Structure 1
Amino acid sequence: MDPTLCRELHHSVASAIGEGARGIVLTGSPRIFSAGLDVPYLLSLGDDRKAITEAWQAFFGAARALAASTVPVVAAITGHAPAGGCVYALCCDYRIMAAGDFRIGLNETRVGLIAPEGIQRLMRRVVGLHRAERLLVSGEMVDAAAALRIGLVDELVDMGPEHDTAALVARAHEWLQALLALPHDAMRHTREIARAEVVESLQPEHVDLERFVDAWFEPGTQSALKALVAQLGKK
């Protein structure tokens, strides 16, 4: 996810709601829901703190749009969802993940990044305090079965040997349709109350972007990020 994609996602959520959408399905490509932020692009920005800050602002802007959506949003997690992909999934109302050897989690510490308080709140909300601590501090990525077991995702769908996303997206639509069949005002207002802490978690004071960007430029972080890019280049 580079800034352009994040801004387009933000715009797409707003446009869909403005055009009368009653629900939204957020999905990705077969095998990869989202690989997170475009680290090679971010590293290409070098020491340009303004550009780095704007890139992260675009990322968090899209996260806030998902979290504050006035209509339900389902994450149809078609494959791996590390870091930023996991954050976006956590901002959704419901998470349906492809069954199989796919992993999801917040692996920021493994590349020298701090998981902001707001992001930690999102994780704690779905898996509980102690388990969230263990996952966040270690940067562990869990497989789909474990994600279901600990509540990080709500259900799994088998995409078959061809990794066809159609069944997964169809199940997301099915879940939305069941929710939207409820008395509208009661569902809408109850949802708004229930999700207030999701919106609150992503307020600027809980993200502390300046501190996050400071950490980005730490030598250890830069070394870890460059090693990650080198590893990806070998695959």
Structure 2
Amino acid sequence: MEFIIQSVQDNIASITLNRGKVNPINEAFAEELKSCFQELATNPEVKAVIITGRGSFFSFGLDIPEFLGYSRQDFIRFVTKFADLYTYVFLYPKPVIASLNGHTVAGGCMLATACDYRIMASGKGKISLNEINFGSSLFPGSAEMLKYCTGQRNAETVAFTGAMFSPEEGKGLGLVDLVVSPEELEATSLKIAKEYAHRYGPAFESIKKLLRTDTTAEMKRKDELYRDEMVDIWYSESTWKQLQNIKIHG
């Protein structure tokens, strides 16, 4: 795989995002990540999955400079693929632990909220859905994942302000479940993944469906109903000007 480092040890799969310094999400990245999850879903050796990044970023979010070269139809194709990815992870049949090693922003935050448990390293890393700051709406279905994690009022705080929250602030809002030191992140993530892995797989999958099927149905409904509205805003003159000022380094 080009953008993913994958390993399996002691029934725990590790997925490391590995696209440059900031793990910007493009179409190929989304396709590869979903393929990786699908492969692990059918591997009987895998009982739980950890997803993490490298360095100071879990993920910066979308590779905006690349998408500036997309036609509207091409961008709709990507939006559909990314929505399929986070919806698949949200209802994934095995436990998924997000090990947030650093900045977890926009599309990166959407991926994190799709997971079952989020552990974030303390320090300078921020977590945010900052789309409103550059004039974009949210991916429609991701709003339902956000509410599922944080509740309605905190979801409004996160989405309306576009603020960059510290790990501790993210925990207070429900974006993060646990904050540990950077030195403890890997070991703690593995410990929690093993705790999940020891539970009976079919029971976990069944309970997860019972808890999340209604939310998933609403995610799919909103992604279908509001996709064009989100894309209209993305291609509006005001938003387009702001998007052109966004640079990705590394």
TM category (shorter chain) comes to 0.7 to 0.9
Tell me the CA shift for residue 184 of structure 1. 4.0
Please say which of residues 102-111 and 185-194 is displaced more in the overlay.
185-194
Aligned residue for 1:44, secondary structure, equals coil
Distance 1:183 1:49 in 2: 45
SS at 2:244 equivalent: helix
Distance 1:197 1:34, change over 3 A: farther
Q: 1:152 to 1:10 in 2, by over 3 A?
A: same
Distance 2:84 2:200 in 1: 31
| CA shift for structure 1 position 191 | 2.4
- Aligned residue for 1:195, secondary structure, equals helix
By percentage of residues, which structure has more strand? 2
Mapping 1:116-195, distance limit 5 Å: 116-160=139-183, 167-195=184-212
- Is 1:111 the counterpart of 2:134? The answer is yes
RMSD over equivalenced CA pairs, Å:
1.9
Q: 1:214 aligns with which of 232, 240, 245?
A: 232
Q: Percent identity?
A: 25
Q: 2:244 aligns with which of 213, 226, 233?
A: 226
**1:28 corresponds to which residue?**
53
Residue of structure 2 in register with 1:163 after alignment: none
Unpaired runs of 5+ residues, structure 2, are 1-24
1:173-194 CA distance string (max 9 Å, x none) = 2112112223444333222212
Native 8 Å contact 1:79 1:103 kept in 2: yes
The residue number in structure 2 matching 1:40 is 65
Is the contact made by 2:65 and 2:246 (CA closer than 8 Å) also made in structure 1?
no
User: How many residues in Structure 1 have an aligned counterpart in Structure 2?
Assistant: 224
SS of corresponding position for 1:16: helix
* 1:118 match: secondary structure: helix
Query: In 2, Cα distance between the equivalents of 1:189 and 1:136?
Result: 31
How far apart are residue 126 of structure 1 and its match?
Answer: 1.8
CA distance in 2, matches of 1:198, 1:14: 21
- Rounded to whole Å, the distance in 1 between the matches of 2:120 and 2:214 is 23
Q: SS at the partner of 1:61?
A: helix
C-alpha deviation, 1:139, in angstroms: 1.3
Matched residues in 2 for 1:5 and 1:135: separation? 26
Q: Counterpart amino acid of 1:13?
A: F
**Structure-2 change in CA distance of 1:117 and 1:57 (3 Å):** closer
CA contact (8 A) 2:94 2:204 kept: no
Q: TM-score, normalised by structure 2?
A: 0.83
Secondary structure at 1:182 match in 2: coil
Question: Once structures 1 and 2 are overlaid, which stretch shifts more, 116-125 or 198-207?
Answer: 198-207
* Alpha-carbon distance change, 169 to 192 in structure 1, aligned in 2, over 3 angstroms: farther
Pick aligned residue for 1:196 from 213, 233, 243: 213
**Structure 1-normalised TM-score?**
0.88
User: Structure 1: 5+ residue runs without aligned partners?
Assistant: 161-166
Contact 2:47 2:201 in 1 (8 A): no
The amino acid that maps onto 2:169 is: A
Task: Quote the offset at 1:117 in angstroms.
Answer: 4.2
Q: Secondary structure at the match of 2:204?
A: helix
**Offset, 1:197:** 4.0
Residue type at the aligned position of 1:147: G
Residue identity in the other structure for 1:136: A
